[in-house]
Structure 1
C-alpha cells in the first residue's frame, strides 16, 4: 500500500500555519461528470462550479470504481484550486478533487456535511 493510503502511517512532518494557508481548498458543485476511459486508473472527468471567485473548473478524479457519473451531478465536493493545471492524456485537469482511500484503496469523495455556497474556502 502506498504511504499516502496507509492509515497506520504516522502524521507528516509539521508545517507552519502560513504554509497551510497557501493551499486553497474550496467547495464546489459538480455540474457534469463523464467517463474517462483513457486514464490509467478508473477515472471520471468532472466539471465543477466554484462560484464567482474561482469559476467553473475541470478535474480528472480517480473515482469511477465507486461513483456513476449521473449520480454525481449536483453533489458538493472539495478541491484544491490553486495547483497548476495538470495534463492527463488529452485532458487538462485544473483542480485536485479531494477524497480518502477506503479499505481497498478506492477514492471516497470528501464533501461538506451541510450545504455551503460554491467557492466557500476550507479553514
Structure 2
C-alpha cells in the first residue's frame, strides 16, 4: 500500500461503510515519549493510554521533526488500535499514531480539539 502525501491527489478508491467500521481509531493520552535514535526517520517512541477497553499501547511515530519528547506527555492523539503489531528495529509498535503531512512533509499529529475520554472511538 502506498500512502499519498500529495494534497492535490484524487480520493482513494471508494469503500463500503462496513469496511470503514473495521478500522478502530481511538483517542489516547500520551503518558511517555522517548527519543528513538535508531529509527531511519526522525521518530519518537510513544506510550499511549487508551483507557480500560484497549489499555496502554506503544507506538513508533515519525514526529521528531516537529515535536520534542518532553512536550508530548499528557497530549491527546488518535491512533489505529486494531492493526497487527509491527516490529521497527528493536521496538514493537502496537498502534499506528495518526497524522497529516505539512507543506514540508513533516508529520503533524491528528487529535481531537477538545478533551475526550481515553479510548473514545472515531465515528
Could you say what secondary structure the match of 1:5 adopts? Answer: coil
2:67 counterpart residue number: 67
Q: Against the structure 1 CA distance between its residues 3 and 86, is the aligned structure 2 distance closer, same or farther, given a 3 Å change threshold?
A: closer
2:79 counterpart residue number: 79
Q: Is 1:116 aligned with 2:116? A: yes
2:103 counterpart residue number: 103
Please, what is the CA RMSD of the aligned residues? 0.9
Q: CA deviation at 1:48?
A: 0.0
Please give the TM-score of this superposition, normalised by the length of structure 1.
Answer: 0.98
In the alignment, the residues of structure 2 paired with residue 93 and residue 54 of structure 1 have an alpha-carbon distance, to the nearest angstrom, of 15
1:55 counterpart residue number: 55
In the alignment, the residues of structure 1 paired with residue 83 and residue 40 of structure 2 have an alpha-carbon distance, to the nearest angstrom, of 21
Unaligned runs of 5+ in 2: none
Unaligned runs of 5+ in 1: none
In the alignment, the residues of structure 2 paired with residue 43 and residue 115 of structure 1 have an alpha-carbon distance, to the nearest angstrom, of 25
* Count of aligned positions: 122
Provide Cα deviations, 1:28-51, integer angstroms capped at 9, x if missing partner: 000000000000000000000000
Q: Against the structure 1 CA distance between its residues 115 and 85, is the aligned structure 2 distance closer, same or farther, given a 3 Å change threshold?
A: same
Provide Cα deviations, 1:3-43, integer angstroms capped at 9, x if missing partner: 61100000001000000000000000000000000000000
Please give the TM-score of this superposition, normalised by the length of structure 2.
Answer: 0.98
Could you say what secondary structure the match of 1:19 adopts? Answer: helix
Matched ranges for 1:5-84 at <5 A: 5-84=5-84
In the alignment, the residues of structure 2 paired with residue 36 and residue 3 of structure 1 have an alpha-carbon distance, to the nearest angstrom, of 23
Could you say what secondary structure the match of 1:18 adopts? Answer: helix
